[in-house]
Each structure stands twice: as structure tokens, then as C-alpha cells.
Amino acid sequence: MQCMSKNKKVSGKHSTPRKPVQFPEDWLKVARTLAADRPTPVVWLLVELVKREAEAKGVKNLPPLPWAV
């Protein structure tokens, strides 16, 4: 009889806490189309656009970009 390993317990929590964001489906299709031109997830496209606008408005101390960490 083989020793079977125990199943890993699932906590049900992500390692990074998630926050739901409501995004209109029509705009999500546009964002996916734009993100398809580059090898990045849609959320990275959105972060990049928010970063550009924040820099244009002179916002200081922006958090690090997810792909730069």
C-alpha cells in the first residue's frame, strides 16, 4: 500500500488581496483589444494609462509599477 500525501489546505485567500472593480463590458472589450497589441495583461494597460495621467497632473510618490517589482 502506497503512502498518499496529504492534500494541501486551501485558505481561500489570494497572496495579493483583490479588490473588485466594476468596469463596463463595452469598455473592457476596447481595453482587451488595446492590450492584445502587447504581451501584457489588461490591468497593466490600465495602470499605465492611470500613471500617465497622474504624471501629467504632477502627482508625486506614485507606487511602483507591477511589472517593475
Instruction: Please state the three-class secondary structure of the chain as a single string.
Output: CCCCCCCCCCCCCCCCCCCCCCCCHHHHHHHHHHHHCCCCCHHHHHHHHHHHHHHHCCCCCCCCCHHHC
Whole domain around residue 45: which residue ranges?
25-62
Classify residue 39 by its DSSP letter.
T
What pLDDT, on the 0 to 100 scale, is given for residue 2?
64
Does 38 map to a domain?
Answer: yes
pLDDT at 1: 55
Give a yes or no: residue 6 inside a domain: no
CB 66 within 8 A of CB 44: yes
Domain assignment present for residue 30? The answer is yes
pLDDT digits (tens, 9 = 90+) for 10-69: 676 767 777 778 889 999 899 999 989 888 889 889 999 999 999 999 999 999 988 787
pLDDT, residue 30, reads: 92
- Count up the domains in the chain and report the number: 1
CA distances for 46 relative to 1, 5, 55, angstroms? 54, 42, 14
